[in-house]
A and B are shown apart, each in its own frame.
Chain A
Amino acid sequence: MSYIVLSRRYRPKSFSEIVGQKHIVTTLVNALQSDRVAHAYLFAGPRGVGKTSMARILSKALNCQKGKAGNPCNKCSTCNSITNGNDIDVLEIDGASNRGIDEVRNIRQNVGYAPAVSSYKIYIIDEVHMLTKEAFNAILKTLEEPPEHVKFIFATTSPSRVPDTVQSRCQRFDFKNISVPDISDRLAQICKTENISAEEEVFQSIAKYARGGLRDSESILDQLASFCHEKITLKDVYDIFGVVSEEKISSLINSFIEKNPELSVEIFHEIMESGRDIEGFIDQLLLYIRDLLLVSVCKEEQGTIETVSSDINLLRMQSSSLSPDTLMYMFQIISEAKSKTRDLLQQRILLEVLFIKLATMEELKPLSTVLDKIEGIKKMFEGNTENVSKAVPTYNESVAAPAKKEVKEKPSDGYAEANNKASGDADFVNTWDKVMVEVQAEKKTIWALLSGARVLNIDNKEAVVEFPKNYLIHKERLEKPDEKRIIEGCLEKVTGKKIQVKFTISKNGHKATNIKGSKHGLVQEKKRKEVEDEVKNEPMVKKTIEFFDGSIVNVRGEKE
């Protein structure tokens, strides 16, 4: 006879043995006693909390030959055969392996036959969420109105995948995760009957790491029991789980606080050298940060917070030097790291980089303080409106001047030089402007073609006009004799001399100058100026400029 693991041997056999699901036990026992048992149940809940066991106990209670007051006797042949899983009337079906419509049709066919020995024919479908859509739909009618002697019990870990139509036909019971004290009590009880000696804290820590699953904790206890033949110690638990000791983790956090990246990398390296599982380590670190966060947020008296790590004073101390926002950020980037890569080397490097980042970053300020700051600025605005009018005269000089300067400086290549030269003897620029007006009157298209260009020089014989780099086509069109003659005609009109026009292309690629920016007396331009002035005189704008020591670079209308 081979060994049977604890979790199977200690599977609860009666309602009273079930741990931590009081709400369900009470309901079911009352239903049995008052003979109000529904024909279909859905047991939902996480792994290892007693769904299948509950289903078996319920079917025993229903079919037990001597059953009294809703508790199975566990002695009669029916009870025994159900426990062993070979009862003729209680059919435990693996929903994940028999998930097709054919299997369900099979059930449907057999539902009609009366039970062989007992009073009820009970179908337990475990892992029911894996049934196919067709299978679920095929069972609907049967599930709604089964024959009197038939009961259905469904068990699943993911009730969300059971269709609503099925759920609405069942009584649904949600199993809870089992609490740490409940698990540790149960483990202590098992140890007593099994003659396993263990330290007190062992049960606590097993229960914590099992995260609510009783079967998980029993598996672990079993493993521990066969691992260490004498007394089970806390260190054994850490070894089995592959967890890192708490001191290591807290010293890692300390290195973040002390801003010592080299130390963090070193500690991380030590942890990895000791052969720990990297994913487990990330989980643990996350739990620790969660503890810190919890401690820093709940400042209430001790005992109200359930932390995973034991040293609450240390937690308090560390959390006082880390803001909740920093902790939140840590949590976020570390948990992201977990899913980022599965390659061990990459994971290690990623974590190292993260730790260095955490150890070198500045303390994050909570969003609320930033908001407060902004709020304060807003108040300053509202309180100081009367001062604004006084500031007007000084404003125009101090602010508008740099703004202009900046605009001028922008085209710093060649163009600016040309501009400077132009301002030196503005004569020919003015001449050209007059010429442009003439051209506009003569032939609009030429004016349009010319408007992107600028004049470089006009002397007695020649006028040099430069086009931006991408204006080659304009240049070619204007070089046609007809067009050229018109321009030269206009030039003659203005200057009274015969001047030849020469077109060139800019080498350093100055972009087309803004047409609106050139002063050809367009109405739009005037309007724009007005708008700009209006904006400049707006008190809010003035105040903003003053406050941030800024300047107006551009004014844009709503539609632009």
Chain B
Amino acid sequence: MAFSDILAQDHITNHFRKTITSNHLSHAYIFTGQDGIGKTLLAKELSKAILCSEKEDDSCNSCNNCVRIENSNHPDVHWIEIEEKAKFLKIDNIRDLQHSVKLSPLESSYKIFIIKEADRMNEEASNCLLKTLEEPPTSTIIILIANSLTPVKETIKSRCQIIRFHPIPAHIIEDQLIKRFDADTSKVGWISRFSSGSMGNAFELLEDNFYEKNSDIVNRIGVSGIDNLLLAEEVIDNYLSSSETLEEKRQALRRILNCILQFYRDLLVVKIRNVYGTGKKTTPLFNADHEDTLQQCAGYLTQKQITAIINDILESIKYIDYNLNINLLVENIFTRIAMLNSSERE
């Protein structure tokens, strides 16, 4: 791997090429962007490029340094991660970092600290980091990786250069899926839209055969008169029973709800088109191959009902993370959808 292998983030790789050659590296960076978009990968590549003994502005992947970074055992590249079972990055993790920051690099010109999931630092940890982040000793680079910038404190953001990762365009994801997995073209289209620009997400979806699951779900909820409990039972049996831990179950349910959400979003778009439409079909639908079902549903649901359903699903998704019975939640969600489906029109 080298910079050139990082997909669709040219603005970032070019930036770092330039900064490395002109020796303009800042001491602190925040890499931000959604999951599965290449932030950790780039952090690794960047460390390689900085420490590589062969090449100037890229990694050679063959020198001693590059190989060791690839295998995460380079003494001057430190990874700070959330401990197992912990919810936050804690002050002790940061204190460890502060200790190593004080020492000079063992064998290279720089020492690099990569803090993963920096958006999950707790209050004490982020405050603890502030002074170190502002004025670390020379030849120290601290990279914070965060999925979202909102939970990161202003005081931290102000001390770092913020590098924003872009979602990967759908066509690149499609290409990759076809190239790497030899996937079906019909599937690939849907997956690239559903993954919303995250390559990691797309891979998982493909592996999970999620395209088929989605079609199945759409077919089930696309009919009038949903039998809520039966549907809930089916969903639980088919999709949730295979996952073992609670976390896996939650993840699976989240995906399914996203599917349903998407379906109703499409429905809303179709509805809008029918009511206000100019005839142009420029807004893409997620479920473009189920347009008949969509049209049919749009016939008997009002805009208000659809909006209510979407809001309801969003509300339910919040509850997934709470400590409650997942099966009950599923039943509840489908009951609500069925109820709103048949509720009186105003």
Contacts and interface: CB of A to CB of B under 8 A. Distances in A.
Partners in one complex: yes
Interface string A303-347: 000000000000000000000000000000000001011111110
Interface stretch (A35-43, A258-266, A289-297, A450-458): A258-266
Interface in A1-16: 1-5, 8
Interface string A120-146: 000000110110000000000000000
A349 B130 contact: no
B276 A262 contact: yes
Contact of A2 (B18, B33, B132, B139): B139
Given A48-B158, A262-B269, 14 more contacts: A2-B25, A3-B24, A127-B131, A215-B158, A262-B280, A262-B282, A265-B269, A273-B169, A275-B169, A277-B149, A279-B149, A346-B317, A350-B314, A356-B303
Contacts of B104: none
B34 to A, nearest CB: 5
B265 A353 contact: yes
Given A97-B131, A261-B272, A265-B272, A227 B15 contact: yes
A157 B130 CA distance: 11
Contact of B11 (A213, A239, A340): A239
A64 to B, nearest CB: 21
A229 B21 CA distance: 12
Contacts of A262: 269, 272-273, 276-278, 280, 282-283
**Which of B32, B94, B155, B282 has the largest count of A CB atoms less than 10 A from its CB?**
B155
B128 A279 contact: no
A95 to B, nearest CB: 8
B22 interface: yes
A129 B154 CA distance: 15
Given A3-B24, A346-B314, A46 B131 contact: no
A216 interface: yes
Contacts, number: 172
A392 to B, nearest CB: 38
A269 interface: yes
Interface residues of B, number: 73
A539 interface: no
A47 B27 CA distance: 18
B124 A96 contact: yes
Given A223-B161, A344-B196, A85 B135 contact: yes
The 7 closest A-B pairs by CB, nearest first: A275-B166, A96-B127, A94-B131, A226-B24, A47-B158, A242-B164, A47-B155
Nearest to A272: B167
Given A227-B18, A269-B283, A343-B258, A352 B131 contact: no
Interface of B: 11, 15, 18-19, 22-27, 32-34, 91, 94-95, 98, 109-110, 124, 127-132, 134-135, 138-139, 147-150, 154-155, 157-162, 164, 166-167, 169, 194, 196-198, 254, 258, 261-262, 265, 268-269, 272-273, 276-278, 280, 282-284, 303, 307, 310-311, 314, 317-318
A229 B17 CA distance: 12
A546 interface: no
B95 A97 contact: yes
A273 to B, nearest CB: 7
B268 A353 contact: yes
Bin chain A's interface residue count: 35 or more
B283 A346 contact: no
B26 A275 contact: no
A225 interface: yes
A75 interface: no
A46 to B, nearest CB: 7
Contacts of B22: 226, 229
Contact of A46 (B127, B154, B166, B198): B154
B221 to A, nearest CB: 16
Contact of A229 (B18, B148, B161): B18
A206 to B, nearest CB: 13
A525 B325 CA distance: 54
Contact of B23 (A2, A276, A353): A2
A222 interface: yes
B261 A345 contact: yes
A48 B149 CA distance: 18
A226 B18 contact: yes
A158 to B, nearest CB: 9
A434 to B, nearest CB: 47
13 contacts: A85-B135, A94-B130, A130-B127, A130-B128, A219-B159, A239-B11, A273-B169, A277-B32, A279-B149, A345-B258, A349-B262, A353-B307, A356-B272
A345 B272 CA distance: 20
A348 interface: yes
**Which of B18, B134, B158, B318 has the largest count of A CB atoms less than 10 A from its CB?**
B158
B42 to A, nearest CB: 15
Contacts of A277: 32-33, 149, 164
